[in-house]
Amino acid sequence: MTLTADRKLALRERFMTVDTANVADVLDELGLPDCGLSSDLWPIKSRLEKMGGWAYTIRGQMTPYPGTGDPKKMDAVSGLTPGHLSVWSGGGAEGVCFFGELIARGMQYRGCVGALVDGGIRDIEWLDRMNFPVYTRYRTPVQSIGRWEVNAWQVEVYLPGATSARVRVRPDDFILADVDGAILIPQEVAEEVLTRAEALTEKERLIRADLEAGATLPDVLAKYGHV
């Protein structure tokens, strides 16, 4: 079933209230154990912030080319809509930045809610001042123009995984990232995963309340089962 734009935004707001750890546990229960993304993808802000949105994929590659810009990159980001999270794939640790502050501002203006970059970024001081979360593989002052070029967008891409070498990311899969790392939720199970993660979050809240009230760990395990 295709989700409407309004439904996607509503689900995103709910996803922002659950933790990646609970989402990961639910995915394990559903037989989807390899959705975690590599811990090499780290948040740029000094305080670790949460990020979540529907994947809008942008793919590129290292390739020498003439010119003073990357028009394909501009075309790619022009398709972003509210609730999208830009996912940049193409080359991993190649030593150049895929984007910086100015393009991030343009993406944010279109309603993009963050960026997950399997590559490099720059202008980190300015990005840090924006209300725009970014998780990336590395930092570098070296621009991509003439070196790295966008070759496709809104296609299936691969990102490095936590428990597997690669995780396939498709347009409109959901990406959630927080202090524990980043994880992919396949679009077909996004609503089920969210509902079950919300229930698990509530169970944990009750367990904490019981422990703070004096219950022992064996008491809460007997009452609630393993969490």
Bind-site residues for substrate:
100-103, 122-123
Separation CA 171–CA 157 (nearest Å): 9
Q: Distances in Å between the alpha carbon of 159 and those of 97, 117, 123, 175?
A: 17, 9, 23, 12
Contact 149, 72 (CB under 8 A): yes
Give dist(CA 55, CA 71) in Å, integer.
21
| Closest of 170, 173, 126, 127 to residue 152, by C-alpha | 170
Annotated binding site: 100-103, 122-123
Q: Are 133 and 51 in contact (CB under 8 A)?
A: yes
Give 23-68 as a DSSP string: HHHHHHHTT----BBPTT-EE-SSS---EEEEEEEEEEEE----SS
- Burial state string for 89-119 with b = 16 or more CB within 10 A and e = fewer than 16: bbbeebebbbbbbebbeebbeeebbbbbbbb
